[in-house]
Structures are given as structure tokens and as C-alpha cells.
Amino acid sequence: MLSHSSEVDLISQFTGFLETPDIREKYGSEIPVFKFPEVDITEELIAELEKIVHPRNSVLGKRMESFFEIAIKFSNRYKLIASNIQINQQKITLGELDFLLYDHQNKRPLHVELVYKIYILDTEVGQNEKMLIGPNRKDSFLEKMEKITTKQLPLLKHPETQSYLEKYDLDLEEIEQQICYKAQLYSNDPDAPLQNGKYLSFHEFQKLAKNDAVFYAPKKNLWSSKPESCKYWRSYSEIAEEIAELFQKKKSPLIWMKHKDSFLRFFVVWWK
């Protein structure tokens, strides 16, 4: 079985990734949404998960890429053709294609770009898609979509990519491009769709915190998990000190709170 030396085991991280919705069902563009497959947690899948504990997966995005690849390998609908395909022109890297898949249901190859993000729904920066912004007020949804549509997706049709497609016996004209855009949303609007929790100022956090509650600030690569999966908790004084240190670096931490049998997750933001 998986090692329990981590604060959150890999199965919890993986299932949290699977359950994170694709926000382009609500927000997005004309580019097709990738239809995520059903995946059963088997002993064989767990063995694959055990292999991903290495430095490459210390970054949230890279860990989610590994989770996506495992999900595809253990799905019935898709076949993994290749992943993280670097397109080079002489010694210059032009970019990378995230995934090339074969969709058995629709009988066609796919080029899929994967995104896993955490967004605050901040009405001070705009409405609708414009309010989707990172917890540190960077890394917006619209900026990411522009990068995907102007740089990442066009790479498939670059002349240098043709030799890579030939290697996998793929015809450019047959490949459909899709985006898998999983995201957690944090909002102070109770009617906001798909939200995972709220975002608070430190003063609001102080009022929310219960005397007998315990807390944890997961590292970013654990953000796909749910607080129920946490094995190590901190006192209020410990977490307040940790938040203060992160605020000095202008970083907004994700906080998990356990009070009796209930769990909450929320961001404490330095800019509010």
C-alpha cells in the first residue's frame, strides 16, 4: 500500500483530482471540453501512483499531469499515445504538447491540453470569466486561455510537429483538439457555481477559527485533496504563525480546518 509518511496519501490526492470539475462547462470558449473518463481505483492503479513520488511531481501542475496520465491508462474509453511531447526546431524548444490520445468511443485521435488551477471569484477585478483569478491576484483564467489558444494549440499545426505526428502514425487532419480545465473555485458568493470554499482576510479568519479547532496549510502539490484526508493538524497559534510568514512573501495559503466532525477549506488572502 501507499506510504503514510506524507501529510496526505496519494490516493486522496488522486481522487481529489478526479472529482475536481472542468470549469469550462460553465466558463470557457468554443474549444471542445475533454470528456473525462470513469476510473476505478484498483491495485494496479495504486501501484502506478506509487511511482510518481519524485522531484518532478513536487509542482502542482506536474503532479496533475501524472494523475491525468494514470487516469487515461486505466480508462476504457481512451488510449494514451504520448505525453509531454517537446517540439524542437534545431536546438530551440518551440513548446510542448501535453497529451496525444486515441478516443475509442469517437474513433479519432485527440490532442489534449491539461490545466489544473485554483481561482478566487473576485468581483473587484471584473465579472463572469474576468473575476477568475489566482489567490495572489495573478494567473487569471482569461490569461491562461489566451496562452492555450494562441500558443499551445497552434503548436500542433507547426511544420516542425509533423515529424512527431508521423512517428506515432497520426494524420494532422484527423486530430481533434480539446482542453481539460479542472479548477477549484473559492467565492464569498453563496450562489456561485462549483465553489469549494471561501476566501478570507486574516481578521475574518480569526473570527471564524474555533478555540478547539485544528488547522493545516497544505503545500501546493496537495491542493487537489480534501481536508478529510489530512493526517497531521496544527494548533491555531501554529497556523497563525505560518500564515504570517507566508503573508510576508505575499502568498495566500489554502487552509484546512477541522472542528469536531466538520471540515472546511478556504484561502486566507494577504491582499484583503
Cα(16)–Cα(225) distance, integer angstroms: 5
Quickly list DSSP for 226-248.
Answer: -GGG----B-HHHHHHHHHHHHH
* The three cell numbers locating residue 152: 499551445
- Output the pLDDT for position 51: 87
Closest CA to 120 of 107, 129, 133: 133
Where along the chain do its domains lie?
10-186, 195-268
- Output the pLDDT for position 2: 38
- The type of residue at 214 is V
- List the chain pLDDT tens, one digit each, 272 residues: 333 346 788 899 999 999 999 999 888 778 999 999 999 999 999 999 988 876 556 789 999 999 999 999 999 999 999 999 999 988 889 999 999 999 999 999 999 999 999 999 999 988 889 999 999 998 999 999 999 999 999 999 999 999 999 999 999 999 999 999 999 999 998 877 778 999 999 999 999 998 899 999 999 989 999 999 999 999 999 999 999 999 999 999 999 999 999 999 999 999 99
Q: Are strands 176-186 and 108-121 parallel, antiparallel or unpaired?
A: parallel
Cα(204)–Cα(272) distance, integer angstroms: 10
> In this structure, are residues 110 and 11 in contact, taking their beta carbons and an 8 Å threshold?
no
E strands along the chain, which residues? 78-89, 92-103, 108-121, 132-133, 176-186, 195-200, 214-216, 254-259, 262-268
- Output the pLDDT for position 192: 75
